[in-house]
Structure 1
Amino acid sequence: MTTKRPAAIYVRVSTEEQATEGFSIQAQISDLERYALQNNFEIVSRYVDEGFSGKSIEGRPQMKRLLRDAEKHNFEAILIYKTDRLSRNTKNSIEIAEALKKNDIRLLSITENIDLTDHMGMALFQIISTMNELERNKTVDRVKWGMTERANQGHYNGGIVLGYDAVDKKLIVNEDEARIVQTIFNYAEQGLGLKAITRRLNEAGLRTKKNNSFSTHSIKNILNNPIYIGKIRFNQVKDWAEKRRKGKNDDYILSDGHHAPIISMEQWDAVQRLVKKRSYTPVRSETPTLLGGILRCPMCGKGMVIGHSTGSHAKYRIYKCGQFHNKGASVCRSNTIRAEIAEKTIFEELTRIVTDDAFLKKLVEKVNYERQNKEQPLLEEKKQVEKRIAKVQIKMKNLKEKILSHDDLIDLFKPELLELQEELKHLQQQRDELSLEFSKEDTEPVDYESLRKLLTDFHRVLSSTSPEEQRNLLRLIIKDIQITKDAPPRIGRRVTRVNLIFDFTIESLHEQAYNLLPKVYPDYDFVEAFNPRLLDGATLANFNKSKLGEVMASLSILPLASIRFTPINLHRPINLLHEH
């Protein structure tokens, strides 16, 4: 009997493809399983990126896991449905193919009959990858052109907006929501500011289209949206995915829409004059906000922001709940803590780490114990996430059945369906990250001397730099800070937990962890030596051979480069105060 060859399958489908083409995950898997059976392959691993775009490798956890496992030679071949499942970017596709080829892993596209083992297959692969990218760009251009034409003709291009329901691609006034919009404009015309309007709406129990409480940001967007005077605005931001709000486009489209206005032109003009009069460029505060965002509200868990309070003798700095600051007392309370007390506690604890050898050794022992015994908590967490995924999928299935049986209910259920899709995507990503942890060989003990050196150097820089740099540095090693819910008289709230996280994994280097290195080790030219984009498709083995990897090794940071500290399971984070 012929021995079957171990193979893995990789499947990917974006949310858009699922919606428009019915290009399902299960359809790809079925065809790949059939091919494996017919060609003497045994499927030993499955990698599924559901709801992820093929534009780049970044953000696709299963593709990253596949490349890691390929280095371990867990299989001899990768089976894919089509080459565009790898990536719609030619450069990324070729990088993936080259990485697999270096590890003697065959890459087989079953519908295009391509085997990258030989030169002809690689050449054909490059041609098809180029054509895939060209087709993607053409599709993007066609969609953009179509949406531009629709906007020019006064048609709405989609997205939910308070005050209207989308029915048969037309905007129909939602009378209940329209009254909320009118209330907002009435308040603005009376001279109320964003915070005052937000507070009144939330106190009245009114909600946004997505059933959230109002914020100053959502009120500002409503007051600036010409859709409420019967206009269609389109292309206000260029390259949103990359530039976000910085990609502002002054040459946007503004046309007469086919929908009924909610606000009169006279009121619109009056409100715009008042908004312009009240608006100003905020002066950059000289007050340091060292812990803003990482200090957590003890009630709602959201980040806290800096503020001021006047005592019996003087004005002093405080941190207060960001939700309270932006949405008012109906959403949360201020839950203030003296900034001086919170910041002093953090600096004292960080100093204690580098001066108390017994404490640091205890900390390292705990981390190493958790690394050696991480499987059970990760398994339990993954099980809980999978249960939540199953519940969301059942809800989505029930909603889809209702929509299929009652076409007139599409607009009623569409917002809920979109929210469930977002929740599902988040949970699937969480599950994939947990799966990724199982595949990592990160049980190697953390070296005490390496960690002590890193913390000592970090503390040296932290103690001698500007408040702005201190703020940035603290965010690189502190996950969050928790405080007491109660504030006893004359004592006030106190810090109860300082949760550390050191993350020099390749995934983190994509984001911000690499910024810590040039700050702590200024004599090394990290900026020129390293570009985060070079990490696309990187694995620990080839990263260690890179210039940055060599520098990190020379600084005795490895094996920290290959771990999360704390691990991804943050239910039991490293808490400085409780460990002491």
Structure 2
Amino acid sequence: MLAANQLNRPIVVALYIRVSTAEQAELGYSIGAQEQALRQYCGATNRVIYDVYCDAGITGTSMTKRLALQRMMSDAKKGLFSEVIVWKINRLARRNIDLLQIVEELSDHQVGFRSLTESMFDTTTNFGKFGLQIMGAISELDRNNILENAQMGLKQRARTGKHNTRAPLGYRVVILSQSGRKRNTKMEVVPEEAAIVRRIFEHYASGHGLRSIANSLNRDGHRTKKGNPFTICAVSDILDNAFYVGKVTYLKHLDWSKKRRKGKNANPIVSDGMHEPIVPHELWEKARFLRQQKSVVSEKRFHGDLLLTGLLRCPSCGSAMTGSRTNNKDKNGNPVPRFYYSCSKMRSSGAVVCRANSIRKDVAEDYLFVRLKEVLAKPHILRGIVKGINERKESSLKPLQEELSSVNAGIEEIKAKKNRLIELYEMDDFDSAFVSERIKKLDSDFDQLCSRKAEIGYLLSGDHSESVPYKTVHSLIERFEHLLRYSNPDQRKTLLHLIISKITVTKDKKIEKIEMIFDEKTKHHFLNAAPSAPNTAEGAFPFSDGKAPRLEQALTITI
């Protein structure tokens, strides 16, 4: 640059201009205003403009997305200009570390740097570099303060139930009024999109998987808010979005630009929204219950043609049995596929660890449905099952009653010991420090016994100690069998894996017993009337014959 001046030649410069989307409307920040000011300066100081590098609508915190900046740095490396001029320092970078890195790299290629409105900094001198560092730090502090204030405003909007994000599928943003950059908006339901959202929730609550729902929507020509085909992730995001049930959630993730999904916030802001919900609360709760259940169990267990995958237990090692396939031939020599359930441990580790113990798919599944019908059709079988439930319940209560007697005796013994220690202390027969430490230990033991007494009392009280009525068991199994009979394959498998905990197979490849667990949530969501309308496309496990009996605790039934 000095050589150019000495030869009285004009300086060849590069102009760098940047404006983010949020700054487009700010006075003096526009692309045109920056370029005009920089061109006037070059004309007045005999500088020749090599090129204008412009990043429009891009934040200053991003380095990789600023393609014009990358091109300018490449041209600087080639020696195509000797100086870079910007309108303000924060146009080049918002973060001080990025600013210093860019200026240092320019300096390495003998390219100077100048700010039009902060012209006191000459980066060719140590004092100028120091001043630039101070100015960059002030600029970054100013940016951080702006972001903090903006974040406070967004948090307050979320707490009052106002939206901060783009409208999701099913809604559109309507501008009520506008003053400058400040807009007063509301979310309005888009009926045709809302129907798609409700369909997704109803299908999922009916037992359909994410892939099945996405395929169904794409087959019918539906698209996401951005006009793309539905994917598993798109369906999943809709099912997890509480906005559809009338809630506003903000700050689910922290520092998204760097951490992405790893920056999950344990305490996001959740409030009642000011918008109209699309999904009924009951349907939302049902979908949430299924999402939670499937989050801890492999999706393969819930979906596919093999209904009992993971439910059948190997008679040799107790591992879950999974599907396998063989190809036999009929009398004409044509291949006939046959499906079996086989020990998963044998399939993964080999025959040295366990045997296949295969049971045919149709045999196992037919037995399940036949057994359910048999139990309902023959009252004496069900009465025997109910009797067994109550006998096991009674036998489990006896040890608790004995433990309660022991706990009560222990409590009384501790009270007596404390009284004796207090009497000895008052008679000055024991050291006070010893007595105090001993009483402290007795108080700790006393608290533990009282806590255990309360637990046992709860287990022995109310429904925990009362016999299970025959009518309750009959109603639960009847509803379960009814839904299985009239559900489609996806629904049927979902029900089986929600209700059945395990199916025991004998070594001669026969089903020995089926263990079912009913609790208030499964009963409420799947054995009562459907929360969605009865004439919906999938029905969401419809059952119109009254309400299932209330369950205060989980009930295990083995048939």
TM-score, normalisation: structure 2: 0.49
- Greater relative contact order (CA < 8 Å, ≥ 6 in sequence): 1
- Give the number of the structure whose alpha-carbon radius of gyration is greater: 2
